[in-house]
């Protein structure tokens, strides 16, 4: 599959107002939304102002429900398997806490886990006596499949893997891991927060029970929007940790029934302008073409890594192998200062702090890193400008 040509990228940029103002290399933070996503939210909010929040909710019900259909088409599942949430963290926690852990159960995970995930494992260890075991990475920083295979045992209750980390271009082999888990009585949870909208996803091919997504990052959707995929097995055999009047029905004084579909992992109050924006973002992504999106951004990121390696004083986090759009690097300048200096030139980057992925950063001996996360709508000219400004800033500080 080819990457997008210049004309296509020009069209995507014309549909993205933010590209007129900034060189946006913070797509792993929150990407720039295209017009249909912005419009969907604005129209929803305008209508709320006109007729009232509950009333517009009723009026636009079928439009809002679109999110389940487009998400199902995207992830290759049924709409009953989708829950709408406010973030990847909420989705992921709903999945984690649906699993009935007992003392001694083992959670196998990766070394590139996001801080919130690992903190939750530690919290579960403290609360319920589970054991947390990160599987060692291979030479490319990905989960070592042989080591994972050797660590599978009857005590393993959950394999929880971050698909793409917050701090580098690594892509974990989630389908191969799924193969290893086939036929075993182990839950499989994927954190697809950074891969959603970046790497094509297919829950059937991955074979996972749960997969969590955020809207605002590579999907280019609204802030405070997210999704949880829960497989049929997960819907049938796990119970949400909490319920409310939306996820469950109060059927008698001492009786209640939990909804059988993904709704069991939702709550009543929702960010509804976000819901319509998220549906628009997924549709836009599907229309653009997930394979071409990945091809284009991976190529751009590769170009950026090459350019950065030619700048004096820059150390690029490059573990090799297939990599996505997140590029991180170190310089002699404090990352937060460099980020602020770049902002003055209209260039948006972010900082990956050590403790956002503590195990991986310590294993590689990195401190905080600068993160330049590339999307398919970034151009070669933008990368050239970024590299020139960065080089000039580093030269200024070294003299
Ligand atoms: C790998 C990973 N997982 C989870 C999250 C949390 O996402 P959210 O802020 O949508 O809860 C992040 C956020 O940066 C992340 O990078």
pLDDT tier, 273 (very low <50, low <70, confident <90, very high otherwise):
very high
353 lines ligand 1 (CB under 6 A): no
* Short-list 289, 235, 283, CA closest to 259: 235
| Mean pLDDT value of segment 117-140 | 97
CATH tag, 6-32+289-398: 3.90.1150.10
Residue 315: predicted pLDDT: 96
pLDDT tier, 26 (very low <50, low <70, confident <90, very high otherwise):
very high
Sign of CA dihedral 363, 369, 373, 379: negative
352 C-alpha to ligand 1 centroid (Å): 12
**pLDDT at residue 204 tops 80:** yes
214 lines ligand 1 (CB under 6 A): yes
Question: Which atom of ligand 1 has the smallest separation from the CA of 113?
Answer: 1
Question: Which atom of ligand 1 has the smallest separation from the CA of 166?
Answer: 16
For ligand 1, atom 16: residue with the closest CA: 166
Residue 166: predicted pLDDT: 98
Residue 397: predicted pLDDT: 86
321 C-alpha to ligand 1 centroid (Å): 23
**pLDDT at residue 119 tops 80:** yes
| Mean pLDDT value of segment 146-170 | 98
- 108 - beta bridge partners? 133, 159
Question: Which atom of ligand 1 has the smallest separation from the CA of 191?
Answer: 3
pLDDT tier, 330 (very low <50, low <70, confident <90, very high otherwise):
very high
89 lines ligand 1 (CB under 6 A): yes
pLDDT tier, 38 (very low <50, low <70, confident <90, very high otherwise):
very high
193 C-alpha to ligand 1 centroid (Å): 5
**pLDDT at residue 1 tops 80:** no
92 C-alpha to ligand 1 centroid (Å): 10
pLDDT digits (tens, 9 = 90+) for 53-99: 999 999 999 999 999 999 999 999 999 999 999 999 999 999 999 99
**pLDDT at residue 333 tops 90:** yes
Residue 319: predicted pLDDT: 85
194 lines ligand 1 (CB under 6 A): yes
Question: Which atom of ligand 1 has the smallest separation from the CA of 29?
Answer: 14
| Pocket mutation for ligand 1, best pick of 169, 194, 221 (most atoms within 8 Å of C-beta) | 194
Look at the block and give the residue holding tokens 């170190």.
330
162 lines ligand 1 (CB under 6 A): yes
265 lines ligand 1 (CB under 6 A): no
161 lines ligand 1 (CB under 6 A): no
pLDDT digits (tens, 9 = 90+) for 280-313: 999 999 999 999 999 999 999 999 999 999 999 9
| Mean pLDDT value of segment 351-371 | 97
191 lines ligand 1 (CB under 6 A): yes
26 lines ligand 1 (CB under 6 A): no
Residue 320: predicted pLDDT: 83
**Better-scored residue on pLDDT, 319 or 231:** 231
Is the whole-model pTM more than 0.95?
Answer: yes
**pLDDT at residue 399 tops 80:** no
Domain 37-287: CATH architecture, name and number where available: 3-Layer(aba) Sandwich (3.40)
Question: Which atom of ligand 1 has the smallest separation from the CA of 214?
Answer: 10
pLDDT tier, 104 (very low <50, low <70, confident <90, very high otherwise):
very high
Domain locations in the chain? 6-32+289-398, 37-287
HEC string of the chain equals CCCCCHHHHHHHHHCCHHHHCCEECECCCCCCCCHHHHHHHHHHHHHHHHHCHHHHHHHCHHHHHHHHHHHHHHHCCCHHHEEEECCHHHHHHHHHCCCCCCCCCEEEECCCCCHHHHHHHHHHHHHHCCEEEECCECCCCCECHHHHHHHCCCCEEEEEEECCCCCCCECCCHHHHHHHHCCCCCEEEEECCCCCCCCCCCHHHHCCCEEEEECCCCCCCCCCCEEEEECHHHHHHCCCCCCCCCCEEEEECCEEEECCCHHHHCCCCCCHHHHHHHHHHHHHHHHHCHHHHHHHHHHHHHHHHHHHHCCCCCEEECCCCCECCEEEEECCCCHHHHHHHHHHCCEECEEECHHHCHHHHHHHCCCCEEEEECCCCCCHHHHHHHHHHHHHHHHHHHC
339 C-alpha to ligand 1 centroid (Å): 20
Average pLDDT over the chain reads 97
pLDDT tier, 123 (very low <50, low <70, confident <90, very high otherwise):
very high
Query: 55 is written with which tokens?
Result: 């009333």
Non-local (6+) Cβ contacts of 242 within 8 A are 97
Residue 111: predicted pLDDT: 97
């Amino acid at each position: 599959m080819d990457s997008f040509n210049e004309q296509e990228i020009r069209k995507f940029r014309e549909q993205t107002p933010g590209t007129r103002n900034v060189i946006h290399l913070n797509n792993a933070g929150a990407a720039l939304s295209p017009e249909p996503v912005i419009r969907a939210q604005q129209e929803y909010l305008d209508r709320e102002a006109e007729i009232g929040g509950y009333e517009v909710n009723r009026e636009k019900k079928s439009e809002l429900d679109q999110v389940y259909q487009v998400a199902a088409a995207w992830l290759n599942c049924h709409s009953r398997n989708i829950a709408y949430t406010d973030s990847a963290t909420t989705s992921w926690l709903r999945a984690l806490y649906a699993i009935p852990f007992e003392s001694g159960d083992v959670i196998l995970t990766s070394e590139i886990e996001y801080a919130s995930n690992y903190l939750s494992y530690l919290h579960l260890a403290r609360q319920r006596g589970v054991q947390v075991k990160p599987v060692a990475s291979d030479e490319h920083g990905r989960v070592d499949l042989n080591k994972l295979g050797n660590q599978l045992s009857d005590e393993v209750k959950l394999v929880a893997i971050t698909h793409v980390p917050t701090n580098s271009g690594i892509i974990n082999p989630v389908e191969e891991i799924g193969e290893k888990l086939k036929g075993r009585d182990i839950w499989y949870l994927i954190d697809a927060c950074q891969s959603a909208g970046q790497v094509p996803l297919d829950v059937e091919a991955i074979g996972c029970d749960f997969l969590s997504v955020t809207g605002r990052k590579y999907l280019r959707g609204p802030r405070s929007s997210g999704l949880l995929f829960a497989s049929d097995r997960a819907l049938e055999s796990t119970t949400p940790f909490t319920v409310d009047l939306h996820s469950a029905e109060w059927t008698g004084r001492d009786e209640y029934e939990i909804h059988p579909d993904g709704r069991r992992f939702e709550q009543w109050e929702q960010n509804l302008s976000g819901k319509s924006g998220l549906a628009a973002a997924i549709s836009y992504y599907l229309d653009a073409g997930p394979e071409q999106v990945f091809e284009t951004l991976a190529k751009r990121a590769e170009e950026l890594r090459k350019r950065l390696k030619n700048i004096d004083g820059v150390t690029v986090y490059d573990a090799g192998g297939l990599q996505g759009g997140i590029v991180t690097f170190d310089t002699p300048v404090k990352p937060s200062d460099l980020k602020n200096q770049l902002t003055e030139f209209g260039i948006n980057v972010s900082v990956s702090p050590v403790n956002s992925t503590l195990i991986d950063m310590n294993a590689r001996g990195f401190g905080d890193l600068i993160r330049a996360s590339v999307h398919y709508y970034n151009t070669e000219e933008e990368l050239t400008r970024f590299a020139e400004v960065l080089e000039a800033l580093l030269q200024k500080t070294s003299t």
